[in-house]
């Protein structure tokens, strides 16, 4: 488990590991990045209470660096990746290991089951679990068991991770997809099963969500540029929407200028594009938000554009090879 400035969630995540009903020895490896919010003290307390918990220093602080530190220190033949925002069900490890043995896969995983506590978090969780939010892949909305492009988190054969060279530490986001691509190219199998469902706590404020989605989109664009043949069309929908809305606004504003100058304002038709997107957001809210309660449904009107626009802008910048420059200035 890579951990950095996550005092709010890490205790629940670690406690969910320690109560696993797996019939065999296991250890909890926490790769701790330089934190300033009390995470260091919290993790030290967890380690002092249970000798299965080991704290490893992650000076770089990035997720792939922390994952690799943990994998190199791992003593057992199976590595269970855990996110500090996740809570494992008690049977998670047992089902995952049984699935590894049954299928012969190199990596098995399941669903990121987002759950929010506040109205905003519930709206984010709703967006994660619908096709209008994050694209409707099996790791978000479920589906039939079988081979997959990628899965949430992942339970790996340790030797398979070492065979493909561990995580690429140059990929700060989307490193799971990139690793799974190498596993599949090496002849291995990535296996999805809906029996593995992990509770995930979404970001708690709009600013945090925008930063997360921008960073995710940035690295997704970088990966789409590096591996153009390995990307589905769904990755290009948000950047296409952003480009279309931006162009429509520019044309619409030009139409206002035409009208002011006494010319026929035919360019006002450009406003149709952002208007159509706004109608899409409203329709999606009516379709999916009714059961979430009025406050969460109201937030859903904000959450969807936050996800689509920030992810789409990030994707465009990443695809244009600006990832390194932006990451250097933002640390992401």
Q: Where are the domains of the chain?
A: 2-204, 233-330
- Report residue 292: phi and psi, to 5°: -90, -5
- Report residue 120: phi and psi, to 5°: -65, -45
**Dihedral of CA 307/308/312/313: which sign?**
negative
Output the pLDDT for position 329: 53
What would the DSSP string read from start to end of 234-281?
Answer: GGGHHHHHHHHHHHHHHHHHHHHHHHHTTS--GGGGGGHHHHHHHHHH
Q: Report whether 74 contacts 160 (CB < 8 A).
A: no
Give the separation between CA 145 and CA 13, rounded to whole angstroms: 26
DSSP state of 186: T
Tens place of pLDDT per residue across the chain (332 aa) = 999 888 888 999 999 999 999 999 999 999 999 988 888 898 899 999 999 999 999 999 899 999 999 999 999 999 999 998 888 999 999 999 999 999 999 999 999 998 888 999 999 999 998 888 877 788 888 889 999 999 999 999 999 999 999 999 989 888 999 999 999 999 999 999 999 999 888 898 999 999 999 999 999 999 999 888 777 788 899 999 999 999 999 999 999 999 999 999 999 999 999 999 999 999 999 998 877 889 999 999 999 999 999 999 999 999 998 766 565 555 55
Give the separation between CA 9 and CA 14, rounded to whole angstroms: 9
Reference 192, options 130, 137, 231; nearest CA is: 137
Output the pLDDT for position 234: 83
Give the separation between CA 27 and CA 292, rounded to whole angstroms: 38
Give the separation between CA 143 and CA 148, rounded to whole angstroms: 11
The domain made up of 2-204 is a member of CATH 3.40.50.10800: no
Output the pLDDT for position 311: 95
Please indicate, yes or no, whether the overall pTM of this predicted structure exceeds 0.85. Answer: no
């Amino acid at each position: 488990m890579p951990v950095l400035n996550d005092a709010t969630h890490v205790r629940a995540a670690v406690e969910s590991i320690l109560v696993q009903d797996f019939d065999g020895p296991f250890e909890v490896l926490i790769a701790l990045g330089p934190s300033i919010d009390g995470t260091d003290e919290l993790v030290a307390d967890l380690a002092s209470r249970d000798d299965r918990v080991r704290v490893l220093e992650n000076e770089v602080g990035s997720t792939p660096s922390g994952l690799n530190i943990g994998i190199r220190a791992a003593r057992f033949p199976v590595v269970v990746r855990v996110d500090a925002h996740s809570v494992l069900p008690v049977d998670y490890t047992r089902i995952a290991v049984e699935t590894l043995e049954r299928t012969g896969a190199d990596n098995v995983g399941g669903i990121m089951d987002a759950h929010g506590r506040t109205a905003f978090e519930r709206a984010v969780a709703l967006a994660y679990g619908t096709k209008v939010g994050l694209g409707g892949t099996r790791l978000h909305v479920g589906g039939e068991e079988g081979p997959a492009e990628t899965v949430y988190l992942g339970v790996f054969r340790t030797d398979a991770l070492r065979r493909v060279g561990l995580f690429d530490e140059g990929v700060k986001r989307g490193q799971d997809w990139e690793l799974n691509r190498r596993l599949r190219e090496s002849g291995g199998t990535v296996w999805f099963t809906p029996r593995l469902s992990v509770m995930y706590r979404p970001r708690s404020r709009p600013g945090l969500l925008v930063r997360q989605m921008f960073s995710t989109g940035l690295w997704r664009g970088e990966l789409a540029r590096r591996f153009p043949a390995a990307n589905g069309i769904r990755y290009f929908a948000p950047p296409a929407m952003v480009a279309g809305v931006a162009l429509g606004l520019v044309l619409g504003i030009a139409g206002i200028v035409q009208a002011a100058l006494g010319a026929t304002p035919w360019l006002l038709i450009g406003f149709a594009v952002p208007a159509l997107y706004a109608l899409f957001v409203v329709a999606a809210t009516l379709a999916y938000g009714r059961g979430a309660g009025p406050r969460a449904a109201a937030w859903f009107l904000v959450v969807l554009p936050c996800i689509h626009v920030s992810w789409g802008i990030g994707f465009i910048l990443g695809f244009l090879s600006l990832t390194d420059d932006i990451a250097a200035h933002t640390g992401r």
